[in-house]
Chains A and B, each alone.
Chain A
Amino acid sequence: MAIDWFPLWLSLRVAALSTFFSLLLGLWLAYILANREFRGKEAVDAAATLPLVLPPTVLGYYLLVILGRESALGRLYESVVGHPLVFTWQAAVVAATVHAFPLLVKTARAALESVDRSYEKAARTLGASEWRVFWRVTLPLARRSIFAAAVLAFARSLGDFGATLMVAGNIPGKTQTAAIAIYDAVESGNTLLARTLVLIISAGAMAIVYGANRLEHRRVRP
């Protein structure tokens, strides 16, 4: 029996895109949390951490409510794109992003805050704008930890099951990611497919985490 590689390929695509969006969203939020002082800052931080600790089904339920065909956001998306967001592979990207970005916010905030403030101060006295300070000084100095965090976010979005299942469904050849395909294969007794996917994903995850650890623990020069 030939193995259907589509779920694996879809998972990679979804994980890559959601890592990209997590980086955008996570860096932006981390920058705000690390640099601005405002009321309820720690509450925002807590809310951003929530997806990390909530059961994936709860997360999926929230997403369904926010993005469903009846919701304002869902209708807006439908009127712009022409078809509903839910039960498409794009919805899987949204689910994986929400699932993974808290990891990035946490790490990126810590990384940005650990950059010695005197470098940023020095850059400001030299006439640099906040934008330039961030891109030329702070980010390069925090890049190792942020890159490691992005790798972990990638691994985490690769493995999302519950939230994806709820908002994107399990449509073979359309929204069936590797994690869901494994569940499906086990249910229908297709042990060959299940075993192959499990092995590939385990090996991939191992390599990713190992690489990320090596990156983070490499000696950072002062």
Chain B
Amino acid sequence: MIQARIAKKYPPGKESPGFALDLEIRASAGITVLFGPSGAGKTLTLEAIAGFVRPDSGRILLDDVILFDAASQVNVPPRRRHCGYVFQNYALFPHMTLRQNLLFAADRLRRLERHRRAGEMLERFQLAAVAGRRPHEVSGGEKQRCSIARALIGEPRLLLLDEPARGLDAPLRSSLYTLLRQVRADFDIPILLVTHDLDEAFALGDNMLVIQDGRVVQSGPPRRVLDEPASADVARLLGVANLFQAEITALDPGRNTSRLNTGAFELAAPYLPGHFRGDRVWVSVRAEDLRVHRRDGVLPPNSFPAELVRIQERSQAVRLEFSGELFADVPREEFERQKDNQEWLVEIPPHALRII
């Protein structure tokens, strides 16, 4: 269990606008993803927990041990914090073989035990065949596995991973995810993983903290965060393409309906408990939930004509941008069928609407 409250200010300099980190983290065994854009303070948070950066104020508690407490001037040095750290560039010692890297980390153990542990970890992380090679003589995936094994061999009480999938191609990525899930099952410790990749957060996260400008803006299981973003900012970070403000013009709990007016168009939506008529709310719709049709006479509910401005090919779908900043991801076959449309209708299904 890690509990940390960290505040750190960097005053604005000549070329930097200044930065303030002020957040609270609680994580028990399992993978907690720190998700956010670059420069949000994710890596800084890991560095503060590992002890490389001294917070201005706050308190860091790992299990029952105080690692840092500004009030009582406690600041345990990194080497006694028992935090395994996997660096972005792996930081494997280039002048040592993979086995020596592990042995260096197992220094606390007695000689025989040390060699036994190193052998066991090499076996477990499928490194036995390359154990005698130096880091520059092995593949990216092997370096990656070795750096995780090295961080774990000393039996840390916490594992910190700084963008572990950065620079790995798709197949290596998925085997890394499998490995990390195995690590989560085998080691009963909290794992903090920094990433700005939403898919990674979903593939690995038991829990997710959305970090922006040095603050935690939302936390919870990834699926819930995605379904119920706490603010328009979070929705934007999570890649929600369609965000607009609307006014609630009607609420009918009996029929479970409501009406929203965005200024540009009217929408029917399910009843919105906890809101009043006249409230202004943010409405979000994921691009893949938007539907497009050819315009031919009747208007289905919740649809309106729009002008196609741009077509962008993506790996899974085709993204269509319409006037009024509406984005729709349409499957390729669907787009092939409709690409000759002269006029377009955009439909927002009521169930796809999310009110923030």
Contacts and interface: CB of A to CB of B under 8 A. Distances in A.
A128 B87 contact: no
Contacts of A118: 87, 89, 91
Contacts, number: 63
Given A119-B93, A121-B78, A127 B87 contact: no
Contact of A127 (B89, B91, B136, B154): B154
Interface residues of A, number: 19
B234 to A, nearest CB: 31
Interface centre among A123, A127, A136, A140 (most CB of B within 10 A): A127
B89 A124 contact: no
Contact of A121 (B84, B91, B134, B136): B91
A128 B78 CA distance: 9
A141 B134 CA distance: 14
A221 B154 CA distance: 28
A52 interface: no
Given A121-B52, A123-B104, A222-B136, A128 B93 contact: no
Contacts of B108: 127
Contacts of A116: 89, 91
A125 B81 contact: yes
Contact of A129 (B51, B79, B94): B79
A123 B85 CA distance: 10
B163 to A, nearest CB: 13
A123 B105 CA distance: 8
A141 B107 contact: no
Interface centre among B80, B83, B107 (most CB of A within 10 A): B107
Given A121-B52, A141-B94, A222-B136, A126 B104 contact: yes
A119 B91 contact: yes
A135 to B, nearest CB: 12
Contact of A128 (B52, B89, B104): B104
Given A137-B93, A141-B95, A221-B94, A125 B85 contact: yes
A122 interface: yes
B77 interface: yes
Given A127-B105, A221-B94, A121 B77 contact: no
Nearest to A120: B91
Contacts of A222: 94, 136
B151 interface: yes
Interface in A110-160: 116, 118-119, 121-129, 132, 136-137, 140-141
B77 A126 contact: no
Interface centre among B77, B91, B105 (most CB of A within 10 A): B91
B229 to A, nearest CB: 34
Contacts of B51: 124
B78 A124 contact: yes
Contacts of A137: 93
A127 B107 contact: yes
13 contacts: A119-B93, A121-B52, A121-B91, A122-B91, A122-B150, A123-B93, A124-B77, A125-B78, A126-B104, A126-B105, A127-B79, A127-B154, A136-B104
Interface of A: 116, 118-119, 121-129, 132, 136-137, 140-141, 221-222
